[in-house]
Amino acid sequence: MRHTISVLVEDKPGALARIATMIARRGFNIESLAVGPTEREGVSCITLRVDCERHSREQIEKQIHKLVNVLRVTELAPGEAVERELLLLTVSADPERRAELVSTAEAFKARVVDLGPDSVTFELTGTPEELNAFQELARPYGIKELVRTGRVGIARASARKARRLSAIN
């Protein structure tokens, strides 16, 4: 089962390395990882996507929580959080197929951010599932290059009191 874990860390040297090292050492697999600043100066948010059983997820949370630079660990439960990801995608597109491709992209609200003689680069923000869908539709045209940021998430107002996983049993 997949879980999204949001980790608030002090913006100190090595903070990300400590988390990554610990997760690798304990044999957990990360599907995606995104890091960026938050509303608080000196505090970053690391959003982790992991595929594991409940028991392993609890272990990951507890072990992350023990790290000295970590301020908070929260699971973003499905339905209780808004999750988004950014995709940049360069697709082969000769002039005759370009219109068809752009109209497909419009359906996803993807924006054209660069045009080349035989390619188009799109930008799309959405749920990771929407990004997957767009990626699959673009695939037959020939994907030249693709990058994704990894998902970030934020708790919904309705779930603001989202269980704080301060690892206290």
Partner 1 sequence: MKMNGADAILRSLEAEGVEVMFGIPGGAIMPTYDAMARGTTVRHVLARHEQGAGHMAQGYARASGKVGVAIATSGPGATNLVTPIADAWVDSTPLVCITGQVRTTLIGTDAFQECDIVGITMPVVKHSWLVLDVNEIPAVMKAAFHVARTGRCGPVLVDVPRDIQEAELDFSYPETVDLPGWRPPHKVHPLQIRNAADRIARAEKPVLYVGGGTINGDACDAVRELAEVGGLPVITTLMGKGAFPETHPLFFGWPGMHGTKWSNIAMNTCDVLVAVGSRFDDRVTGKLSAFAPGATVVHLDIDPAEISKLRDADIPVVGPLKLAVAELATAVAAHRDAGIPAPEAWVHRLEELRAEFPLRYGSGGDWLKPQKVMETLQELTAGEDVIFTTGVGQHQMWAMQYLLTERPRNFITSGGLGTMGYGIPAAVGAKAARPEATVICVDGDGCFQMTAQELVTAVLDDLPIIVVLVNNGFLGMVTQWQDMFFDGRRSHVGLGAEVPDYVKLAEAYGGVGILVQTEAEVEPALRAALALGRTVVIDCRVDPSEHCFPMIPAGAAAIDMVEYADPAEATP
The verdict on 158 binding partner 1 (CB under 8 A) reads no
- How distant, in Å, are the alpha carbons of 23, 24, 38, 45, 63 from that of 11? 19, 21, 10, 9, 19
Site for partner 1 in 24-43 (CB under 8 A): 25
* Residue with Cβ nearer partner 1 (20 or 146): 20
Q: Given candidates 11, 28, 65, 123, which one binds partner 1 under the rule CB under 8 A? A: 65
The span from the CA of 99 to the CA of 78, in Å, is 36
* DSSP sequence for 76-111: E-TTSEEEEEEEEEEEE--HHHHHHHHHHHHHTTPE
Query: CB under 8 A: which stretch of 11-19, 107-115, 118-126, 143-151 binds partner 1?
Result: 11-19
Which residues are at the interface with partner 1 (CB under 8 A)?
A: 9-10, 13-14, 17-18, 21-22, 25, 55, 58-59, 62-63, 65-71, 167-169
